[in-house]
Amino acid sequence: MRDYLLTLCVTAAVTYLLTGPVRKFAIATGAMPEIRARDVHREPTPRLGGIAMFFGLCAGLLVAAHLSNLDSAFELTSEPRALLSGAALIWIIGVLDDKFEIDALIKLGGQMIAAGVMVVQGLTILWVPVPGIGTVSLTAWQGNLLTVAMVVITINAVNFVDGLDGLAAGMVCVAAAAFFLYAYRIWVSYGIEAAAPATLFTAILMGMCLGFLPHNMHPARIFMGDSGSMLIGLVLAASAISITGQVDPDRLGLFTGGERGATYAMLPVFMPLMLPLTIIAIPVADLVLAIVRRTWNGQSPFAADRGHLHHRLLQIGHSHSRAVLVMYFWSTLISFGVVGYSVNSTSAWIVTVIVGMSAVGLVLLLLPRFTPRAPRWAESFVPPRYRRRKSPVPAAGSPAPAAALAGEPGGGAGPTEATASAEPASPPAGVNGATALGARSRLSDRRKAGTRG
């Protein structure tokens, strides 16, 4: 575990430290597109955050290759090299899109080529355990086609959900954390070394997201752009494919009571092949709804709009930050709920917790304008909007009470007015001149009247 934590921290540190220079580079190169109709931010913000995330990925793989407990992932398989090759290709396409706005069909072709590069180097699906049936072996073209489809769908699911500050990075980080616990359990508890690459990939993916999030939280100073969203989507898909293609269900069946037990134990990984990834079910649902909505309206499935789930949260009254937190909540509930259910599917308390937390999530959705307040002891650790409003202390000798604040119900003079009332009043500028002019006019009228008399 320590080696994985070291790899995660190195990846996060490199990503965090490089994001600042990358932001300046994006501004210098003009990678700051104008605000579009579907955008929710108000000021042009630089993109190209995926550059820092890609170098964080490279740093994580480099460190892991020199750790004795992680070198098996590089010696037994070529999956790390396949991941790096596909990531480099998709990253280049994303950088070009962030700068020059590449056509959607060209990006789709690039995604398929990147997936094909990983397939050629051995990162592919070999078999599919089906609940109730058992292990179904796939032919070469079936496995390759399924792998490419899974990569493309996952990349676009993550890309579609990247619409609010910190949303995509946070949701993928949550999914990677749940997947890491699952893959680590298969490798360490069951001793199956084929799960080592997936464990490493998810640890690096968490580091990429955690290192970028401080720069991307609302209000974001930089966006990851397609260079980042497609990259983390590809890494997440590669993690699932690695377990799917390399972990033998027959070996897992030795620890789970037969082939059927192994099939059910692998559900958190193989259910994604149907949707395609349960641990990012929210982005996938958003992707499916977007395609249906746009096709129903006679638009292209790749045409951008403001009908995504995060846009709907904003429309019903949620603030930017709360909409992101709601999406985090549902992603955490689904991903960790599925992983927990895979560990012990016969336990009733897991289902009870999932149902209870779902009810809490529905309440949060129905109260968009409810503003939570942190307790007194935690106010120094939360943003100012979650702190309790403190009553100002009135100045000495001021007749205004502390509750009489401007803008509050029943409030009289504000602090500025109370201070002014304690000082000698001074006439506003221009009053002395107007008074003198009126006095001269009256004196002139009297003189004229005396002359006539």
Structure tokens at 238: 């590669």
Query: Which residues belong to the annotated binding site?
Result: 159, 226
**Per-residue model confidence as pLDDT tens for the chain (453 residues):** 889 999 999 999 999 999 999 999 999 998 886 665 555 555 778 889 999 999 999 999 999 999 988 887 888 888 999 999 999 999 999 999 998 888 888 999 999 999 999 999 989 888 776 666 667 788 889 889 989 998 998 898 888 777 778 888 998 998 889 889 888 888 877 777 878 898 999 999 999 999 999 998 878 889 998 999 999 999 999 988 887 766 666 666 555 555 555 555 555 445 434 433 555 566 666 667 777 777 777 776 666 655 566 566 666 666 667 777 877 887 888 888 777 776 766 667 777 888 888 888 777 666 665 555 667 777 776 666 666 666 555 555 555 444 444 443 333 334 333 333 344 444 444 444 444 445 555 555 555 455 444
Residues paired with 127 in a beta bridge: 137
- Beta-strand pair 127-130/134-137: antiparallel
Give the pLDDT score at 361: 74
* Residues 274 and 267: beta-carbon distance below 8 Å: no
CA-to-CA separations, 447 to 4, 395, 433, 438, 441, in angstroms, rounded: 100, 52, 22, 15, 10
CA-to-CA separations, 397 to 354, 390, 401, 408, 414, in angstroms, rounded: 58, 21, 11, 22, 15
pTM value is: 0.71
Residue 385, Ramachandran bin (φ over 0: left; ψ between -120 and 50: alpha; else beta): alpha
Query: Which residues belong to the annotated binding site for Mg(2+)?
Result: 159, 226
Long-range residue pairs from 305-308, CB within 8 A, at least 24 positions apart, any chain: 305/38, 306/37, 306/38, 308/160, 308/161, 308/163
Structure tokens at 73: 């992932």
How far apart CA 168 and CA 228 sit, in angstroms, is 10
CB count, 10 Å around CB of 289?
15
SS3 of the chain: the string is CHHHHHHHHHHHHHHHHHHHHHHHHHHHHCCCCCCCCCCCCCCCCCCCCHHHHHHHHHHHHHHHHCCCCCCHHHHCCCHHHHHHHHHHHHHHHHHHHHHHCCCHHHHHHHHHHHHHHHHHCCCCCCEEEECCCEEEECCHHHHHHHHHHHHHHHHHHHHHHCCCCCHHHHHHHHHHHHHHHHHHHHHHHHCCHHHHHHHHHHHHHHHHHHHHHHHHCCCCCCCCHHHHHHHHHHHHHHHHHHHHHHCCHHHHHHHHCCHHHHHHHCHHHHHHHCCCCHHHHHHHHHHHHHHHHHHHCCCCCCCCCCCCHHHHHHHCCCCHHHHHHHHHHHHHHHHHHHHHHHHCCCCHHHHHHHHHHHHHHHHHHHCCCCCCCCCHHHHHHCCHHHCCCCCCCCCCCCCCCCCCCCCCCCCCCCHHHHHHHCCCCCCCCCHHHHHHHHHHHHHHHHHHHHHHC
Q: Where do the domains of the chain lie?
A: 2-281
